[in-house]
Structure 1
Amino acid sequence: MLITTKRSTTCTLHTMNHRLLYVSVDMSGQIKLNHWSQATRSCQIIYAQPDDPCNTPAACGPFTVCRGNPNPSCDCMESFSQKSPQDWKVQDRTGGCIRNTPLHCISDKNITSSTDMFQPIAQVTLPYNPQIIAVASTQSECEETCLGSCSCTAYSYNDSKCSVWNGELLSVTRNDGIEYTSKDVIYLRLAAKNFMPSLRKNKRKPNVGVVTAASIIGFGLLMLMLLLLIWRNKFKWCGFLPLYYDNQGSVGGIIAFRYTDLVRATKNFSEKLGGGGFGSVYKGVLSDAKTTVAVKRLDGVRQGEKQFRAEVSSIGLIQHINLVKLVGFCCEGDHRLLVYEHMLNGSLDRHLFKKSNNVDTVVLNWNTRYQISLGIARGLSYLHQSCRECIIHCDIKPESILVDASFVPKVADFGLAAFVGRDFSRILTSFRGTIGYLAPEWLSGVAITPKVDVYGFGMVLLEVISGRRNSSPEISHNTKSSRNSYQHHEYFPVQAIRKLHGGDVKSLVDTQLHGDFDLEEAERVCKVASWCIQDGEFDRPAMSEVVRVLEGLQEIDMPPMPRLLAAIVEQSDAATSMY
C-alpha cells in the first residue's frame, strides 16, 4: 500500500510473520524503515538513510542551523524567525527562517552603499555553493567584498581563503564533536538595527522583597570589606600575592606559613645553614615531622621586601627538576621568610672549592661535574624560554646552585631576578650581581637580556672544570736564565682559552681528579664556557643551544679570545718581557 501526503510518502509492507513494516520519506528527504510494535503500540525506526538527519540536503531550510541526532533540531540564525510556525509544529522545516529586519543596501550606477554589519557563527559547517573571491587577501577585504553586493548574505575567511554566499544559506550544521567537527566561522550579514540594544519599555514598581534582600547583601559586603581591611593590615604588603587558603594554609601549590609555625619548625632559628647579603638560612622540620626544609629569613624591611617579592613571583610560580622548589612563605607583619626544599649537599661552591674545615664534602668526579653543568644549563634554558615571561636570574654563581642528595643541581636565589615580557627582548634594570660573574654590559648601563645569565654560566663552567675560583691568582714560574726567575698572576679564563687554543685542555682540569676524566667532554665544556664569556652578547649562545651542545647533539666551533681578555693577555705578555 502506498500513501502520499503533502508532508511525506509511506509504503506499507506485510511480511510472512505478519510483521507490519512501512517505509517513509519525510519532507527533509530522509528515508526511514519503521515497524509497528504491538507491545508498545507505537512505531519504531529500524533503519534511516542518511543516518544523521542533518546530512539530508537543506534539512532545516534556509537561514537555519541544524543539530543532529536523535532528531534534527533546527534553530533560526541570529535575528531570523520561523517563516511558517504552523509548518514547524508538524516537523516541516523546509520553509526555513526569514529576516526580522531587512538589510540596508543601496546600489546605484555601480556604486553600492550599506550600513549592514556581520554576526559571527562559530564552529559550523559552511553552507552550499560558496563563491571564492581570489582577490581578497585579508578578512577585511573579504568583508568589503560582501558589503559591495546587495545580494551577498554571508562570508567566511578561513586559511587565507575568502568565500561569499549570495541568497539563501542552506545546510549549516553545528559542530557536535562526533559527526561534525568543523571549526569554521561564518559571518552572517545583518541590518545594523539588530546590533542596537533593546530598550526597556515597561518600568516596574520597586519590589519590597528585592529592596530588602539588596540591603542585606549590601550590608554583608560592607562587613566583608571591613574584615578584608583588617586582614590586609595584619599581612601588610602581601596584597600582591594570590592568597587563597585552604584548611591547611595551601596557596596555589605553595603554603602560606604563620611566623610562629616557622619559629617552631626551626627551633627558634637555632641551626644555621648559611647566610648572605639578604639574610640567613636555617634548617627546619615541618609539623609532619618528615619534611625537612631550608628557611630563609630576609633582613631589612625594604631590601628584604624586594627580594621576597622577586622570589615568590618567580620560583613560586614555576617547577622544574633543575630549579629549587619553593615550599611556602611567610608574610606576616614585618616578617618575610621563604621556605625551600632542603638540599642535603648544600651549595655547589662547597664541593668545588673545598676548604680544610669542610670535612664532610667529597671531591666531585668528572661525570658528576658534567651532569651538574648540563642540569644548570637546562634550568636556565627553562627560565629563559619556557616560562610565561622570560626570567633573568641576574646572579648565576656557584653559591646560587644547590645540589640534592644525588647531586642533581637546582638553580636557587632568585632575589635579584628580572622579568621580561615575551613582547620584549631586553629590560633596563638596576645594577645587580656578583663581581667575577658580571657580563660587560652591566658596566655599560645598557638594557640587559638573558645573555647576562649565559655569561655567568660560562664563568661557573670554568670553575667546575678547574675546581678553583676564576679570580684567584695562578702562580707561574718561568726561568729565562739560570740567574733570573719571576712569577706572575694569570686570570684563569685567559689561561683556559689560551690552553684550549694550544690543545692543552688536560692541564686545566682539577688536579684532584688525578686525570680521571673524559678529555672530549672536557674540551666541549671548555669551548662552551669560552663562547659564553664573549664580550658581545650576540656572540654568546642561547642556553637552549648550550643544552644541545652539552648533550652531544650539536657541534661547536673553536671560540676566539674575547677582546677584554685579550687586553689582559697583552698586559701579561708585556710584564713577562720585562724579566
Structure 2
Amino acid sequence: MKGYSIRSPQDWELDDRSAGCTRNTPLYCNSNNSRAGGETDKFHPMTSVQLPADARNVATATTADECSFACLGSCSCTAYSYDQGACSVWHDKLLNVRQQGNSVLHLRLAAKEVPSSKTNRRGLIIGAVVGASTAALGLIFLLMIWMRKNKQYGDDAQGGMGIIAFRYADLQSATKKFSEKLGAGSFGSVFKGSLSDSTAIAVKRLDGVRQGEKQFRAEVSSTGVVQHVNLVKLIGFCCQGDRRLLVYEYMPNGSLDHHLFQSNVMVLDWTTKYKIALGVARVLAYLHSSCRDCIIHCDIKPENILLDGSFTPKVADFGMAKLLGRDFSQVVTTMRGTIGYLAPEWISRTSITSKVDVYSYGMVLLEIVSGSRKSSKQSSSRDGAHEGYFPVRVAHSLVDGDVASLVDAKLLGEANLEEVERVCKVACWCIQDDEFDRPTMSEVVQFLECLSEVETPPVPRLLQAIAGQPNLKIM
C-alpha cells in the first residue's frame, strides 16, 4: 500500500501478518517537526477497493472537501471516503483493505509521499485552507464541521465556546448589507451587525483570497481555540467560496487608541488605565505560557486593544499571530507588526520569540501613561533637552523623581504616582534592546499586581543614543 512498508517481512512470508505495516514517513500532524515548518498531510486516492471495517460516519460533512477537513482535523484519522453524500472516516489502524470493490479510499499520507499536481484540486484546497501552522488548526476546523448543522458544539479543552458557522447571506442580513462600517485595516473591514436574538456583533470581512485566507487561519487557530476574559470572543465564521468572514462580540467602547489619542471621547481615569494595562498583561501571559502552543500576537498596539461596556480590555486582531510549539523557543518568520511597536529583533531579521510582544506592550504602557503617541512631540524637560521622544523623557523623569510630569494632562493630576512610577519602570524593562533583558509577561503581571518589586532598569541603548548620555541609569 502506498506510503507503507511491511513491518516484518520474515513473518509476512510465514503468513503471520499480525505485525501489519508501518508508515514510511510520519504524518505532519504527529511529527515532532510539525511546528517548525513543513507541509500539511495530503490524501492518496485508492480506487476500486473494499472499504475497511470500523468506519465512523461524519453526518455534518456534506461535501468531499468537508469530509477531508474532518479527517485532517484529527491526528488519529488515517483515511476517509466520500460516496453518495455520506462521509466515512477511519482512525488509527486500517484493517483488511482489499483491492476488490467499487469504492474510493483516500489514504492520509505525509505530503512528501504524494506527488504534487496542478490538477489535484483537493490537494490545493487542503493546502490553502489548512496551511502549515499546527494540529490545533486542524482541530478547530473539525469542531467547526461538527457544529455546522446544529450551530454549536460543546465544551472544549480550554473552556466551553460555541462557534457558529454562518452562511454569507446570514451575515449580509445581520449587517444590513455591510452598511455600518466600524473601521478598516490592511486585511479588510469591520462592520457592526446584530443577530436574530439582538446580540450585537462585529463582522470582519477579509479582503484578498490569499492574504485573507492566511489571516483567517491565523485568527481561527488562535482566538478560535482559547478563551480568556481579556481576549475578544470569536462567535463564528463564514467560509463560503472565496469569502472569509469572522464574527466577534461587539465592543461598545471601541479601541484604546480612541480614548488615548482623540479629544472627542471620554477620558479614561488612571484607575481604568491601570486596569487596562493589567488586563492586557494577563492575557498576553496566558497566550505565551498557558496555552497548548505559545501564541505570539505580533501586533500589540492600542488599536488592537478593544474595550467592552465596563472598559475591560480585550486583545483582538490575531491576523499576524504566530504559533510556537512548546518544543521550540524561537521561530524565524517574515517581519510583521506596526512601526513604532516593533522590537529590534524584527529589524535585524533574527529569529523571534514571545519577547516581541513584551516590547510592543512596553511601548503601549508608555502611551497609556502619557495619553499620546510615544513618538509625537512632547513638551521639553526642564533643561530643554530630549524633546520629541517620550521614552527619553520617561528615563530622565525616573532619574529626577518627577513622574508626575509624565502623566496625561487630561487627568488633571488625578493619578496614583506610585503606580505611575511602577508602570514606567516596567515599560522601560519591556523595551530593552536585548530580548533576554526583558521580563516575561508573567513577570510583568507580578510587577503590576505588586507581588514583586521592580528593580532598577537600565536605559536601552537606543534611548542612550537619543539622550546622548551612555552612562544614564534609572535610580
- TM-score, with length taken from structure 2: 0.69
Query: Which amino acid is 2:146 matched to?
Result: Y
Q: Which residue of 2 aligns with 1:41?
A: none
Query: Which amino acid is 2:452 matched to?
Result: Q
Equivalent of 2:169, from 260, 281, 284? 260
Q: Which residue of 1 aligns with 2:430?
A: 532
Query: Helix, strand or coil: the match of 1:250?
Result: coil
Give how far 1:497 is off: 1.2
Residue 244 of structure 2 is aligned to residue 317 of structure 1: no
In 1, Cα distance between the equivalents of 2:455 and 2:212? 44
Residue 231 of structure 2 is aligned to residue 370 of structure 1: no
**Compared with structure 1, are the counterparts of its residues 477 and 494 closer, same or farther at alpha carbon in structure 2 (3 Å cutoff)?**
closer
Equivalent of 1:467, from 351, 368, 371? 371
**Compared with structure 1, are the counterparts of its residues 199 and 259 closer, same or farther at alpha carbon in structure 2 (3 Å cutoff)?**
closer
Aligned pairs for 1:67-466 (under 5 A) are 222-224=83-85, 238=129, 240=138, 241-242=141-142, 243-250=145-152, 253-288=162-197, 290-355=198-263, 358=264, 361-466=265-370
Give how far 1:225 is off: 6.7
Query: Helix, strand or coil: the match of 2:83?
Result: helix
Query: Helix, strand or coil: the match of 2:396?
Result: helix
In 1, Cα distance between the equivalents of 2:418 and 2:469? 31
Q: Which residue of 1 aligns with 2:442?
A: 544
CA contact (8 A) 1:349 1:398 kept: yes
In 1, Cα distance between the equivalents of 2:417 and 2:439? 22
Query: Which amino acid is 1:545 matched to?
Result: E
CA contact (8 A) 2:375 2:388 kept: no
Residue 470 of structure 2 is aligned to residue 568 of structure 1: no
In 2, Cα distance between the equivalents of 1:570 and 1:490? 14
Give how far 1:275 is off: 1.0
In 2, Cα distance between the equivalents of 1:364 and 1:276? 25
Give how far 1:446 is off: 0.6
Query: Helix, strand or coil: the match of 1:328?
Result: strand
Could you give the per-residue CA deviations for residues 157-205 of structure 1, whole angstroms, max 9, x where no partner exists? xxxxxxxxxxxxxxxxxxxxxxxxxxxxxxxxxxxx9xx99789xxxxx
Give how far 1:445 is off: 0.7
CA contact (8 A) 1:384 1:391 kept: yes
In 2, Cα distance between the equivalents of 1:559 and 1:221? 62
Could you give the per-residue CA deviations for residues 343-387 of structure 1, whole angstroms, max 9, x where no partner exists? 0101000001123xx3xx210001000000000000000000000
> Where does structure 2 lack aligned partners over 5 or more consecutive residues?
1-10, 19-49, 58-80, 90-105, 107-120, 131-137, 155-161, 471-475
Query: Helix, strand or coil: the match of 1:269?
Result: coil
CA contact (8 A) 2:423 2:448 kept: yes
**Compared with structure 1, are the counterparts of its residues 325 and 197 closer, same or farther at alpha carbon in structure 2 (3 Å cutoff)?**
farther
In 2, Cα distance between the equivalents of 1:416 and 1:554? 32
Give how far 1:537 is off: 0.2
Identity of aligned residues (%): 61
CA contact (8 A) 1:401 1:409 kept: yes
Q: Which residue of 2 aligns with 1:501?
A: 399
In 1, Cα distance between the equivalents of 2:212 and 2:51? 49
Query: Which amino acid is 1:496 matched to?
Result: V
CA contact (8 A) 2:429 2:439 kept: yes
Query: Which amino acid is 2:321 matched to?
Result: A
In 2, Cα distance between the equivalents of 1:544 and 1:490? 32
- TM-score, with length taken from structure 1: 0.57
Could you give the per-residue CA deviations for residues 121-168 of structure 1, whole angstroms, max 9, x where no partner exists? xxxxxxxxxxxxxxxxxxxxxxxxxxxxxxxxxxxxxxxxxxxxxxxx
Give how far 1:559 is off: 1.0
Could you give the per-residue CA deviations for residues 32-82 of structure 1, whole angstroms, max 9, x where no partner exists? xxxxxxxxxxxxxxxxxxxxxxxxxxxxxxxxxxxxxxxxxxxxxxxxxxx
Q: Which residue of 1 aligns with 2:94?
A: none
CA contact (8 A) 1:475 1:488 kept: no
**Compared with structure 1, are the counterparts of its residues 297 and 460 closer, same or farther at alpha carbon in structure 2 (3 Å cutoff)?**
same
Give how far 1:557 is off: 1.0
Could you give the per-residue CA deviations for residues 439-493 of structure 1, whole angstroms, max 9, x where no partner exists? 00001111100000000000000000010001111243879xxxxxx89742111
CA contact (8 A) 1:394 1:432 kept: yes
Query: Helix, strand or coil: the match of 2:310?
Result: coil
Give how far 1:250 is off: 2.8
In 2, Cα distance between the equivalents of 1:388 and 1:227? 29
**Compared with structure 1, are the counterparts of its residues 212 and 521 closer, same or farther at alpha carbon in structure 2 (3 Å cutoff)?**
closer
CA contact (8 A) 1:470 1:492 kept: yes
Could you give the per-residue CA deviations for residues 382-417 of structure 1, whole angstroms, max 9, x where no partner exists? 000000000000000000100100000011000000
Query: Which amino acid is 2:314 matched to?
Result: K
Give how far 1:245 is off: 2.6
Q: Which residue of 2 aligns with 1:553?
A: 451
CA RMSD of aligned residues (A): 3.2
CA contact (8 A) 2:148 2:165 kept: no
CA contact (8 A) 2:253 2:309 kept: yes
Query: Helix, strand or coil: the match of 1:317?
Result: coil
CA contact (8 A) 1:232 1:238 kept: no
**Compared with structure 1, are the counterparts of its residues 539 and 426 closer, same or farther at alpha carbon in structure 2 (3 Å cutoff)?**
same
Query: Helix, strand or coil: the match of 1:346?
Result: coil
Whichever structure has more strand as a proportion of its residues is 1
Query: Helix, strand or coil: the match of 1:310?
Result: helix
Could you give the per-residue CA deviations for residues 211-267 of structure 1, whole angstroms, max 9, x where no partner exists? 9999xx9xx9533479999x989x985565222135333356311110000000000
Query: Helix, strand or coil: the match of 1:295?
Result: strand
Q: Which has the larger radius of gyration?
A: 1
Query: Which amino acid is 1:352 matched to?
Result: L
Aligned pairs for 1:482-521 (under 5 A) are 489-521=387-419
Query: Helix, strand or coil: the match of 1:461?
Result: helix
In 1, Cα distance between the equivalents of 2:337 and 2:311? 25
**Compared with structure 1, are the counterparts of its residues 527 and 404 closer, same or farther at alpha carbon in structure 2 (3 Å cutoff)?**
same
Query: Helix, strand or coil: the match of 1:545?
Result: helix
CA contact (8 A) 1:475 1:487 kept: no
